[in-house]
Amino acid sequence: MNKKTAKWSLEDIEALYHLPFNDLIYKAQTIHRENHDPNKIQVSTLMSIKTGGCPEDCKYCSQSIKYNTNVEIEKLLSVDDVVAQAKAAKDSGASRFCMGAAWRNLNDSNLSKIKDMVKAVKSLNLETCLTLGMLKKEQAESLKECGLDYYNHNLDSSEEYYSKVVSTRTYRDRLNTLSYVRDAGIKVCTGGILGLGEENIDRLKLIEVLCNMEEQPESVPMNKLVKIEGTPYSDNENVDNFDFIKVIAIARITMPKTYVRLSAGRDTMNDEMQALCFFAGANSIFYGDELLTTKNSSINHDKNLLDKLRIKTI
């Protein structure tokens, strides 16, 4: 991916949003075909290696200690437990294994064990990804040295709306971690969540930030809010399906080489909506019946859907 990327103005992105739906999807599919095989999907699996007890107050999250969501606090898993699940993920067709911990930030005391997990998963010929909260510069460099491929750190929404979603960290905190990750030579995985109560303009501003990074993210997960009882967002309005598909299309147009992933919330999408998302440029999904602590589309259902669409996994 080129170090220097074309700059997209918010006005340009808004113009894409207001295109007739068929024109937008056609444009996205055209660009998608120029940069990717339209009949292949990259498959990742996400595992919770440390569940519950997070001190952050993200209003969508079941793992925050601020909310009563019946998620039990668990200790950091052993390397053997992680390897066992990584092997199962690979056998199911995943090519990337993502490990997530409910932390505000990675503590140096846990760094050695995390590095052992990365090395063990890489030994299975799987790509590795971590999402552990905020990092320090030295931690990012250390993770690169042990072979980490990707680091996930979602921006969630626009900078203007972000303070309404979480108060225990800032948008700048997120951008700083992404900068450390990029400078260390680790591939960047960052995206957003639709359905947090934001307006469409916030979704477009999120894409504006992502696509105008000096080097565009290699992976952009787009999540549809999973409404969890006990969290402040449990009664939020559903995201309009067409708005979600349009965001996927705009992400593809503005970030041609990026893997755009359908992430949380796929279990609430019917097959036809997912097929339209793939046509709009999504080319990555999470396999597995659970994403951290939330329900996901089953592996068997995903395999049947991809078989119907004649889409192969990579």
Q: What is the DSSP letter of 194?
A: E
Please tell me which residue in 33, 174, 189, 310 is annotated as part of the active site: 189
Nearest CA to 223 out of 279, 152, 174, 301 is that of: 152
Please tell me which residue in 98, 169, 252, 277 is annotated as part of the active site: 98
Please tell me which residue in 96, 129, 169, 266 is annotated as part of the active site: 129
- Report the alpha-carbon distance of residue 280 to residue 253 in Å, rounded: 9
- 261: annotated active-site residue: yes
Nearest CA to 228 out of 101, 73, 62 is that of: 62
- 211: annotated active-site residue: no
- Report the alpha-carbon distance of residue 217 to residue 44 in Å, rounded: 16
- 61: annotated active-site residue: yes
For the chain, the 3-state helix, strand and coil shares in percent, each to the nearest 5, are 40, 20, 40
Please tell me which residue in 169, 261, 266, 277 is annotated as part of the active site: 261
Q: Is the Cβ–Cβ distance between 55 and 77 less than 8 Å? A: no
- 96: annotated active-site residue: no
Q: Is the Cβ–Cβ distance between 223 and 265 less than 8 Å? A: yes
The token pair at 261 is 């992933």
Letter string b/e over residues 3-24, b meaning 16 or more CB atoms within 10 A of that residue's CB: eebeebeeeebeebbebeeeeb
- 129: annotated active-site residue: yes
267-274 long-range CB contacts below 8 Å, 24 or more apart? 267/295, 267/296, 267/297, 268/224, 268/226, 269/224, 269/241, 269/297, 271/305, 271/308, 273/241, 273/244, 273/245, 274/305
Angle, helices 10-17 vs 21-35, to 10°: value is 110
| Helix residue ranges, H only, 74-198 | 79-91, 108-122, 137-145, 159-165, 171-184
Q: Provide φ and ψ at 7, rounded to 5°.
A: -90, 130
* Helix (H) or strand (E) run with residue 31 in it: helix 21-35
Catalytic center residues? 54, 58, 61, 98, 129, 189, 261
